[in-house]
Amino acid sequence: MFGIRVIKTAVAVVIAIYLAQYFNLISPYSAGLFAVLGVDVTLKRGIKTSIIRIIASLVGLLLAALIFYLLGYYIWVIGVFVLVVYSLLAKLKLHDGIVTSTVVMLHLFSMQSVSTEHILNEVYLLIIGLGLSTIINLIYMPNEHPKLDKIRVNLEELLSCIFKEFALHLIDNINHIWDGKELLLAYDAIEDGNNLAERFADNKLLQSNSYWVRYFEMRRQQLDSTQRMLDLVAQVYQSVPHALDIALLFEELSEEVKSEYYQGKVEKHLSEMEVKFKKYALPASREEFEVRSALLQLSVELKTYLSIAKRSKKRKSTPI
């Protein structure tokens, strides 16, 4: 019913306000506002934005104290603060701290004071609100591994289906029809998986979790290669022995693509097939020449696809 970020935000807001009240701070509810701003989607991003907001707020707090001390507590002075501080924070690339710096400035304006006590009050509110939200982010972040694994299985099934369709077309290019929807679904799966993988990696501070990022990047490169292969498969409009040989490779690849490890069987059979191709007689017609030319390019592109897998996939001799 409630997302984990909503639950964490609710907990952070309540505890932050209670803490601010316990220490008798002025405007204790502002600690809850800072807590809301501090809870983020990922751990690394949450820590980064909290640090930025604290630094920006301290800059805004000191400049607000200086501006109010020099110009007084007039509404038009708030405009001066916005012009000066917003421009400075933008130059310092502290955009995420603009809201929090504005909040602490308005507190000083409402209290009509820039005393050390009031300035420290704002510092304590920032530490409680943003610090607490960071701690809650550290305590729990959802495990995205099951979702990533589900996307991986679905993506590999789509790739397997694509290669089976390639094989069917090469075997029977007259009667077989394919709408290509699996290719579009595969691109969507890669985009979803890559976004989730980056979020998963950002939720780990001390350990590297780049495996999933590398995995979906590998699949993206392979899918681009698959798209190029599709264009070449579509040029095969005549049945020749070469097409049947490559069809067998795609049938084998439709199973190998689902393996976690690089097996190398398709690569081996592709090399054997290339030797076999050289023994075939020359094309007897222009049409056969065009088809065999497309098949030759297809075998080259298949090599490219396999080289990506060979470079990126695990080997059975490599420990998990």
Confidence (pLDDT) at 245: 87
Residues 120 and 18 in one domain: yes
Local mean pLDDT, 10-residue blocks, the chain (320 residues): 78 93 93 87 78 91 93 94 93 90 92 91 93 82 83 94 92 84 94 88 67 90 94 84 86 90 85 78 78 88 90 62
Q: What residues make up the domain containing 96? A: 4-139
Within-domain flag for 101: yes
Residues 46 and 65 in one domain: yes
Within-domain flag for 283: yes
Residues 159 and 291 in one domain: yes
Confidence (pLDDT) at 77: 94
Residues 299 and 276 in one domain: yes
Confidence (pLDDT) at 108: 92
Residues 235 and 195 in one domain: yes
What is d(CA 157, CA 163) in angstroms, rounded to the nearest whole number? 10
Residues 128 and 174 in one domain: no
One-letter amino acid identity for 80?
V
In the chain, the number of structural domains is 2
Within-domain flag for 13: yes
Confidence (pLDDT) at 71: 94
Within-domain flag for 52: yes
Residues 282 and 150 in one domain: yes
What is d(CA 159, CA 195) in angstroms, rounded to the nearest whole number? 20
Residues 135 and 23 in one domain: yes
Residues 132 and 240 in one domain: no
Residues 231 and 93 in one domain: no
Confidence (pLDDT) at 229: 93
Residues 56 and 168 in one domain: no
CATH label of the domain that carries residue 269: 1.20.120.940
Within-domain flag for 25: yes
Last residue of a domain, one of 109, 139, 169: 139
Within-domain flag for 239: yes
One-letter amino acid identity for 75?
I
Last residue of a domain, one of 93, 122, 139: 139
What is d(CA 196, CA 205) in angstroms, rounded to the nearest whole number? 16
Last residue of a domain, one of 139, 174, 193: 139
Within-domain flag for 163: yes
Residues 198 and 69 in one domain: no
What is d(CA 94, CA 88) in angstroms, rounded to the nearest whole number? 9
Within-domain flag for 317: no
Confidence (pLDDT) at 262: 83
